[in-house]
Chain A
Amino acid sequence: MDKSMDIKKRNEMYNNYVQAKIPKTKAWPSLFYSFLVGGIICCIGQGINDLILLWFPNMAEQSAWAYTLIVLIFIASFLTGIGVYDKIGKFAGGGSIVPITGFSNSITSPALEYKHEGIIYGICVKMFTIAGPVIVSGVVASFIVGLIYLFI
């Protein structure tokens, strides 16, 4: 009886300790930076899209967007490789996660991190720790939407 009280008390103290140690994100600056960085990344995307349409005026709009996203994915993957993207992510928060560059970063980053575990079990497996759920949920949702359109 006495012992269980001790454990309870200890757990409570531990929880308070953890609560005190969790880094508090300052709300307003981080909202401002995520707005700024997110907006800038979207403007860069628009710039790439405009350049592609300028150089290849006959390209379909859908293909031009696909190329735009591929270029953005390339840039983000490279910046992750040289360690710059994580520095941006530290102050930009949502601004660096929500754009497609964040998706690219979420694939490259764990691949790089677990490289030492080998190519198959390190790079190839860990690559999908975050991208996996994204692709699964997207494919399931789009399949359901397609199925609904089939029957109406």
Chain B
Amino acid sequence: MYYLWVFLIGGFICTLGQVLIIYTNITSARILVTFVIIGVLLEAFGIFDPISAFAKAGINVPIIGFGASLAKGAISAVESKGLLGAFTGGLEATAGGIAAAIFFAFIFSLIFKSKTKS
């Protein structure tokens, strides 16, 4: 029955984003940046993992999870590599997602035509 938690928490986080849109008129780039930094902070203070234990995809799929894995990667790389880890850890942990997003965007933008200007 943990899908209920996934739905409720995932929905709640997205509604927070919508509240920001309605009451402050901020753009989607600012929303994404805000949530990534929230994710980094949650992970840095050790709050992310307890939430993730029962919210699962509810907090891992929102961009908060992306921020958290950036911070998680940096922290664990610092423990094994020292200062170098602070440089490499974050991007190493999220490289899969970033590379996938870039690769698929490149392929699909070559294949498809823009719908809004046709």
Interface residues of A (CB under 8 A from B): 25, 27, 30-31, 34-43, 45-46, 49, 65-70, 72-74, 77-78, 80-83, 86, 93-95, 97-104, 106-108, 111-113, 115-116, 119, 123-124, 127, 129-131, 133-135, 137-139, 141-143, 145-150
Contacts and interface: CB of A to CB of B under 8 A. Distances in A.
B106 A123 contact: yes
B82 A142 contact: no
Contacts of B106: 111, 123-124, 127
A86 B116 contact: yes
A113 B108 contact: no
A117 to B, nearest CB: 11
Interface residues of B, number: 78
Given A111-B109, A134-B32, A145 B44 contact: yes
User: A interface, by DSSP: helix, strand, loop or mixed?
Assistant: helix
A150 B79 CA distance: 8
Nearest to A79: B108
A149 to B, nearest CB: 5
23 contacts: A34-B11, A38-B14, A38-B15, A38-B17, A39-B10, A39-B58, A42-B6, A42-B61, A68-B60, A73-B104, A81-B111, A83-B112, A83-B116, A93-B18, A94-B14, A94-B15, A94-B19, A108-B104, A113-B116, A130-B28, A131-B101, A146-B75, A149-B79
Given A82-B112, A123-B110, A146 B89 contact: yes
A143 B86 contact: yes
Contact of A34 (B15, B41, B112): B15
Contacts of B56: 46, 49
Interface in B53-112: 56-58, 60-63, 65-67, 69-71, 73-75, 77-79, 82-83, 85-87, 89-91, 94, 96-98, 100-102, 104-106, 108-112
